[in-house]
Structure 1
Amino acid sequence: MLHASALLPLALLGGGVHEVRTGDAPKYSPPGLRVAAGDTVRWDASQRHPLAFEDGSGGPYDADHERTLTTPGKLAFYCLVHGAPGGAGMSGLVTVGDSNEAPSITLERETAEPRDGELVVFRALAGDPERLALRIAWDLDGDGRFDPHLGGVSAVARYGPGVHTVNARATDDLGLTADGRLTFTIPAPPAAPKPPSDASPPAAAPPAVTNADSAPAPTPQVHAARAIRLATVRRRGLRVTVTAAPPGRLSAELRDLRGRRLARVTATARSGTPVTMRLRAPRIRAGRARLVVRTADGRSISHPLIVRA
């Protein structure tokens, strides 16, 4: 027949020895531990880290100190130089027996303004009243199921446009849990501009045309040097002249071969009057580029350029 104590976990039988150490950093390792009644705890105390107990049970101690703890409960300790009662600074806690309180957890998003398809970084801020290590599990798609393969205080994922929910769960050494939730929105990308309708009325003709009702819309022309020296773009800018443009707002953009915009300028065109704009692009590099001009009636004109160093 088995003795009753043989059915108990080894940690609850008592008689074990545990160590709380100090190092170069002002903190205890571990900051919290759970022991069985009858276990012995040894503290690595010194003149640099004198040991004190919140219940005033002796000390402070400036040399290694040990105690055999027989009464269930909690024993808080701290460094007289680098800590203070209440868990401040260099401090720790020994829990004798199965006294336990539930952990706490909150979530924060480290990526400030995530966009469609961008990696979003999350962090769990979790704490345990017994100051013991916690297990963190994540549910990154908000379906209520925590992925056993996703652990640790941080996690990353990609999301499309819409409202999303992320959950995380903290579990302590005796199985008590706490859940945290974070909801955020990924904005939809801006809609592409609609092409001009074939049924839209033609743009007004310049005053120089006698019969404006029957004359076709003017075809804008762009004049720009095909080869631009880098110093010219940086100091004086690129001079762009648009002729025969319909009245309204004009824009000129300088883009690289990947389509990234390097410079942009706008102006207002008047009937029959050429418009001259100057583009400045201090970050442009030698190579091929493209000038894109958009007129008030929705048309765009693309002009290749060569930037020489």
Structure 2
Amino acid sequence: MLERIFLANPRGFCAGVKYAISFVDTVFASNPADTLYVRKEIVHNQRVVDEMKKRGIKFIEELSEAPEGSTVIFSAHGVSPSVVAEAKERKLRIGDATCPLVTRVHRKARNIKDTHQIIYIGHRGHDEAIGTMGEAYMHLVEDENDVINLKDKIDTSKPLTYLMQTTLSVTDTKSIIRQIEETFPFVEHPQKDDICYATTERQEAVTFMIENVDAMLVIGSPNSSNSVRLLQLAKKTKPLSFRITSKEEVNPDYIKTNEIKTLGITAGASSPQVLVDEIVGELLKHFPNANVSLYPESREDTMSFKLPKDLLTQL
């Protein structure tokens, strides 16, 4: 029987997600009569997207779905230069809600694309990886074997460095970097890695509490890279850990069958607090005597990003 629920802190929305959502909200509020389009999911959370759809905000996969001259917001994950060029051709008004930390990686790519060979550590097909890799020619690697397979594709007489997707697992990334060092001893290390503070802090919070719980519950969408990484991290130590996206997915029989007495809860960086509250409430319906509290060793996420003065650009 579930006796205790520990809430990880920090958890849920990061500064980049808050920035992107606030960006859309501010543009929409400035002229609610005009149709506002958002390219791709603004953040990888269906609840957030659905709430925006209810207000009349339209989500599109490609710019061709938006009428010429309309207003389109780029998602938090960023876009490649080819998307910006297409927006210019279609005379769109553009709002760039890309997380500033992702924008920093794009800037690094532009600065080195003519001087270095670039290895990109990321996940094939992820929106952030697609956007960043559009800035320059890069070799995508997802694991150590991918690095080894690059041996005949890298010119040892030219400078080599690497960039990273911001939402990766800190531990997994270290092992990939070690393989890059072994395979290409001449590699130049960036002054600072690209994994964002929120990813690191949320993974650290799980690491701190994992020994004192029977399982971790990760709240997040299946296409949320940082949520998937949190679950992978938790399952390494506590295999009973699991992930859900909403209160409807709460399964009390799983908790009872596996005799989970102490459950830790965290949430991916794109999961709103309301989801945490709803899921905890649902758990308490089935386990009313469970004690809910913040894990003692926790800290607040105080990072924030200011919106730019001019939100929209006429291309």
TM range (shorter): under 0.3
Where is the strand percentage greater, Structure 1 or Structure 2? Answer: 1
The higher radius of gyration belongs to 1
Q: TM-score, normalised by structure 2?
A: 0.21
